[in-house]
Amino acid sequence: MTTRAIVWFRQDLRLHDHEALHDAIRHADEVIPVFVVDPRVFQARTSFGFPKTGIHRARFILESLDDLRNRLRAKGADLIIRTGKPEIVLFDLVKQLGASWVFCNRERTRQEVNVQDALEHRLWTIGRELRYSRGKMLYYTQDLPFPVTHTPDTFTQFRNQVERVIQVRAPLPTPDHIPWKDTGLPAGALPDLSDLGWSVEEVDRLPTSAFRGGESPGLDRLQEYLWTTHAIATYKETRNGSQHFNDSSKFSPWLAQGCLSPKMVYAELKSYEEKVQSNESTYWLFFELLWRDNFRLIGKKYGDDIFKPGGLTGRLPGSMRQDEQRFHAWATGNTGVPFVDSHMRELNATGFMSNRGRQVTASFLIHHLELDWRMGAEYFESKLLDYDPCSNYGNWNYLAGVGTDPRADRVFNPWSQGQKYDSEGCYVKQWVPELKDIPASYIHQPESIPEDLAEELGFCPGRDYPVSFTGEKIH
């Protein structure tokens, strides 16, 4: 009898290093790749009312699905696309197709776990199985020198315990061929942004993006950052920049949707080190990928705590105001602090913000505006192209002093950060055009511009750009 397996693609929209796909090919005569567009992900709102998946990320995911479908077709298969709740849609497909298994990547955060658990329970009622595979991290949990429940709480301890002790495994190859027979089921059209609830005006307003979703563009970016531009060789010096695309790798959107596997990035990095050069910068990219693994393991260890006001510590931060006006100023990039505003405006316009920008804007929301950190975290969740629950909430926990770092209250001075990382104000001027004529010496504090100069420039603080809110914790 012919056996069939469904491969449920989730945030693993690739064919390289795809364990679930390999397992399915090993087990079944026919493999049916499926993606389910879940309205709870694409059309719901967060608890503070932001779209759960903002328009930039929605576009990136649709592009990724298009690319995945094309790559599957080139391997002799197809991607079945359906809309609905995966626990119902997949259950129905299993029955319809007489499939024996559903193979998928295991997710670890609440909403995703609820869905996979619900599907698993339904499948049990008809004697079918959900089989979990791995592929989100550099390391396999079974290779770690500690059980997940004993993951060290600080990054340094984590790094010390893993980096010299265990090896990152080689990525699995892309299958040459995927066993597939036409089941007679329609493949299903790829939805567009309007199907996901975005208006014509919102879609028309979307600028072209430097990030295109999909495994093919993700692999191209890997090639470009390492082998074509060699930008990797100066990563450690440039990674805090916000202005140039090559300041950092920009792998995160592809990593977050699983278009790129972290093991593939690591394998290319090692190859680059062997063939071209190995230096502090090449090591530092690996170091940053370790942060990603660390936050995922912390998410596994602490479960829902990462989403709670007191985070991992259970202690509430000093202030948790939910002041709409302050929040609106922050979210729209109108706080009067140019280094904060420029980053927020870039996020709104593109879905991306540098790591430095994220640290400074998050710290500003928490420590200067004294707002509930969860408002900021949910806003990032909505807007970020690379949103990942563990990395996002883990970093917010950390900055709000409710995470794993023993040094609570990490306050960044947004004015001196601006001077340090954008001394000429080029980045600020790119995103805050009302400051384009302000000289570099005043660009990070435009309200301090002398009156006569302001008059000469026709610039009026408070009229042309907000006067900054100045809290008392600046140092």
Ligand X SMILES: Cc1cc2nc3c(=O)[nH]c(=O)nc-3n(C[C@H](O)[C@H](O)[C@H](O)COP(=O)(O)OP(=O)(O)OC[C@H]3O[C@@H](n4cnc5c(N)ncnc54)[C@H](O)[C@@H]3O)c2cc1C
Task: Catalog residues that contact ligand X under the rule CB under 6 A.
Answer: 239, 248-252, 255-256, 285, 288-289, 291-292, 295, 354-355, 358-359, 362, 380, 384, 386-388, 391-392, 395-396, 399
Tell me, what DSSP letter sits at residue 142?
G
Find residue 8's DSSP bridge partners. Answer: 34, 104
3-state secondary structure of 286: helix
Mark residue 227 as left, alpha or beta (left: phi above 0; alpha: psi -120 to 50; beta: remaining): alpha
Own/partner pairs, 285-292, CB within 8 angstroms, 24+ separation: 285/232, 285/235, 285/249, 286/163, 287/159, 288/239, 289/138, 289/262, 289/265, 290/138, 290/155, 290/158, 290/159, 290/162, 290/163, 291/155, 291/391, 292/137, 292/138, 292/255, 292/262, 292/388, 292/391
Q: Which is nearer to ligand X, 64 or 100 (CB)?
A: 64
Question: CB of residue 120 vs ligand X: minimum separation in angstroms?
Answer: 27
Alpha-carbon distance of 474 to 33, in angstroms, equals: 53
Q: Which residues contact 208 (CB under 8 A, 6 or more apart)?
A: none
Question: CB of residue 63 vs ligand X: minimum separation in angstroms?
Answer: 17
Question: CB of residue 154 vs ligand X: minimum separation in angstroms?
Answer: 14
Q: Which is nearer to ligand X, 278 or 355 (CB)?
A: 355
Q: Which is nearer to ligand X, 3 or 228 (CB)?
A: 228
Question: CB of residue 194 vs ligand X: minimum separation in angstroms?
Answer: 26
Q: Which is nearer to ligand X, 82 or 292 (CB)?
A: 292
**Rounded to 5°, angle at Cα 103 from 98 and 109:** 130
Bridge-based pairing state of the strands 101-105 and 4-9: parallel
Question: CB of residue 286 vs ligand X: minimum separation in angstroms?
Answer: 9
Q: Which is nearer to ligand X, 25 or 61 (CB)?
A: 61
Mark residue 96 as left, alpha or beta (left: phi above 0; alpha: psi -120 to 50; beta: remaining): alpha
The answer to whether 381 touches 387, Cβ cutoff 8 Å, is yes
Question: CB of residue 336 vs ligand X: minimum separation in angstroms?
Answer: 21
Alpha-carbon distance of 343 to 333, in angstroms, equals: 8
3-state secondary structure of 104: strand
Question: CB of residue 65 vs ligand X: minimum separation in angstroms?
Answer: 20
Q: Which is nearer to ligand X, 33 or 394 (CB)?
A: 394
Question: CB of residue 356 vs ligand X: minimum separation in angstroms?
Answer: 8
Find residue 369's DSSP bridge partners. Answer: none
| Helix residue spans in 28-54 (DSSP H) | 39-42
Q: Which is nearer to ligand X, 52 or 122 (CB)?
A: 52
Alpha-carbon distance of 464 to 467, in angstroms, equals: 9
Q: Which is nearer to ligand X, 362 or 454 (CB)?
A: 362
Q: Which is nearer to ligand X, 404 or 468 (CB)?
A: 404
Alpha-carbon distance of 263 to 12, in angstroms, equals: 13
Question: CB of residue 398 vs ligand X: minimum separation in angstroms?
Answer: 8
